[in-house]
Amino acid sequence: MKKVINSEKAPGAIGPYSQAIEASGMVFVSGQLPINAATGEMPASVEEQTRQSLANMKYILEEAGLTMANIVKTTVFLQDMSLFAGMNGVYATYFDGAFPARSAVAVKALPKDALVEIECIAVR
């Protein structure tokens, strides 16, 4: 059985998908674009965009009763690998103790011309 997780603090899905799905004690959070749900705005720098994407992820996890400490795996999509250092510096501040497993890949383009998009898997 699966349960849809939705937070009004994070931007709504821009396609036919859910912000997150919980199944068997695992929460699968869809890729989070760096959009501020309150304003609809996207910051300019990769650092600010990383911060916003992770904040959106945090809001969704909170809706599921979880925290960033419950994340076991993330995938970071970057518009260009030259943005890695800026993303990585901000990313490191969102985790305390053991970091989750992570993949980081450069892609040709991201929705809404974002510089970064981040998804995760968390467990109870």
Distance between CA atoms of residues 22 and 5, nearest Å: 7
Chain centre to alpha carbon of residue 72: 13
Per-residue pLDDT at 17: 95
**Residue 51 pLDDT:** 98
Q: What share of the chain is helix, strand, coil (3-state, %, to 5)?
A: 30, 30, 40
Distance CA 87, CA 19 (A): 22
pLDDT score at 44: 96
Domains in the chain: ranges and CATH: 2-123 (3.30.1330.40)
Calpha distance 22→86 (Å, rounded): 31
In this predicted structure, what is the pLDDT of residue 96? 87
b/e map 84-115, b = 16+ CB within 10 Å: bebbeebbeebeeeeeeeeebeeeeebeeebb
Per-residue confidence of the chain (124 residues) as pLDDT tens digits? 899 999 999 999 888 999 999 999 999 999 999 999 999 999 999 999 999 999 999 999 999 999 999 999 999 999 999 999 999 999 999 998 889 999 999 999 999 999 999 999 999 9
